[in-house]
Amino acid sequence: MELQDAINQRHSIRQFTDKPVEKKMITKIVELAQRAPSWVNSQPWQVYCAMGDTLQEIKNAYRDQDIAGNQGNSDLPVMSREDWAPQTQDNMKQWRHGIVHHFANFDEAHEKMTNASNTLYDSPVILYITIPKASPDWSIFDAGLFAENIMLAATAYGLGTIPTYNSVRFPAILHQTLDVPDDERFIVGISLGYSADTTINIYHSERRPVNEILHFNQRERL
């Protein structure tokens, strides 16, 4: 698959089949992703692959937290959408509008999206990306480049992905279950697997016109 095709075809998958993903395939994807650039080649990332009984243990623990009414506390801080910049708020509103109209009605959209999120999308694999706590904010940027490479490589191999905050809401559970050292912090979890043939997976979010985000600045010499 050409790079341009992988970029255009990649979109968030919110329902996976139970078809297992071979460890050999996961290794190929992560190995490709390692070509991502980083500050002075620091390569701050680690990847913890949860699958099988380990992943089910995480899902069960998350469900128990949800039943108890616990919201979670991710290592990366979050903020209310009302505090975001106006343009980003508009983008999120357009996304929600598109999702709702992708289903028969608001209630169906809310039910499908909520159930998918609460079950961590029934994915057979989640790749948890961490960086050292002793690292600058630039390492978060580096981890983002690495994560994008993972998703593009997965797309090229015929797999679906979705990067989520929801998967890293309870870092204490992840540290214990995945045996992650205390000096690492969780950046994101990427659900990985084969896309299910369902309505929720057909939706492709829109992007703003390029002329609204690309600003040329070229002064002519007199």
For the chain, list the domains and their CATH numbers. 3-207 (3.40.109.10)
Distance CA 208, CA 62 (A): 35
The pLDDT score that the predictor gives to residue 49 is 98
CA 164 centroid distance within chain: 4
The pLDDT score that the predictor gives to residue 24 is 97
pTM: 0.94
The pLDDT score that the predictor gives to residue 83 is 93
Q: Is 90 exceeded by the pLDDT of residue 120?
A: yes
Distance CA 151, CA 9 (A): 11
| Strand ranges, E, within the chain | 46-51, 125-132, 160-164, 184-193
The pLDDT score that the predictor gives to residue 3 is 86
Q: Is 90 exceeded by the pLDDT of residue 21?
A: yes
Q: Is 80 exceeded by the pLDDT of residue 4?
A: yes
In this predicted model, which residue has the larger pLDDT, 175 or 81?
Answer: 175
Q: Is 80 exceeded by the pLDDT of residue 19?
A: yes
Distance CA 183, CA 27 (A): 24
Distance CA 53, CA 133 (A): 28
In this predicted model, which residue has the larger pLDDT, 160 or 200?
Answer: 160
**Per-residue confidence band for 68, with pLDDT thresholds at 50, 70 and 90:** very high
**pLDDT tens-place string over residues 131-165:** 999 999 999 999 999 999 999 999 999 999 999 99
Phi/psi at 199 (5° precision): -60, -40
